[in-house]
Amino acid sequence: MNKILLNDEEKEALLNTGKYEFSKDGNYSLEFENFQKDIFLIVSKNTHVTLNLLGKNTDLSIHIHIKENAELTFHHLLIEGNFHLIVDLDGIGATFTFNYSVLSSQSSLHQIIVKHHMPKTYSYLKNHGFSRNHANVLLDISSYIEKNSDQCISKQDNQIIENDTSMSQIQPNLYIDNYDTEASHSAYLGEFKESDLFYLMSRGLSEEDSKFLLLKSFLIGHFELNDSNQERYYHEIIKYFNKEV
Partner 1 sequence: MDFTIDHIYAKSKDDKEILKDFSLHILPGEIHVIMGPNGTGKSTLSKVIMGSKDYVVTKGDMFIDHESILSLNTTERSRKKIFLAMQSPISIEGVTNSEFLRTALSSQLEKNVGIYEFMKEMEKSMNDLNMNSNMMHRSINQGFSGGERKKNEILQMKILKPKFLILDELDSGLDVDSLKIVCDNINQYISENPDTSILIITHYTRILDYIKPKYVHIMIDGKIMKTGAFSLAKEIEEKGFSCVNEVSEASTHE
Which residues, in sequence order, are CB contacts of 39 under 8 Å at separation 6+? Answer: 14, 18, 19, 20, 60, 61, 62, 63
190 binds partner 1 (CB under 8 A): no
Minimum separation from the CB atom of position 232 to partner 1 (A): 14
228 binds partner 1 (CB under 8 A): no
Q: What is the DSSP letter of 179?
A: S
Residue closer to partner 1 by CB (options 147, 203) is 203
Task: Considering only the stretches 21-29, 80-88, 169-177, 193-201, report the one whose residues sit in contact with partner 1 under the rule CB under 8 A.
Answer: 193-201
Residue closer to partner 1 by CB (options 92, 205) is 205
Minimum separation from the CB atom of position 53 to partner 1 (A): 18
Among 180, 221, 231, 243, binds partner 1 (CB under 8 A): 221
Task: Considering only the stretches 52-60, 65-73, 110-118, 218-226, report the one whose residues sit in contact with partner 1 under the rule CB under 8 A.
Answer: 218-226
Determine the 3-state secondary structure of 97 from DSSP.
strand
Which residues, in sequence order, are CB contacts of 35 under 8 Å at separation 6+? Answer: 2, 55, 57, 58, 59, 60
DSSP code string of 139-152: EEEEEEE-TT-TTE
Residue closer to partner 1 by CB (options 177, 224) is 224
200 binds partner 1 (CB under 8 A): yes
191 binds partner 1 (CB under 8 A): no
216 binds partner 1 (CB under 8 A): yes
**CA 81, 43, 37: angle at the middle one, nearest 5?**
30
Determine the 3-state secondary structure of 95 from DSSP.
strand
Question: Of the candidates 122, 116, 59, 42, which has an alpha carbon nearest to the alpha carbon of residue 51?
Answer: 42
Contact residues toward partner 1 (CB under 8 A) are 194-196, 198-207, 209-210, 213-214, 216-218, 220-223
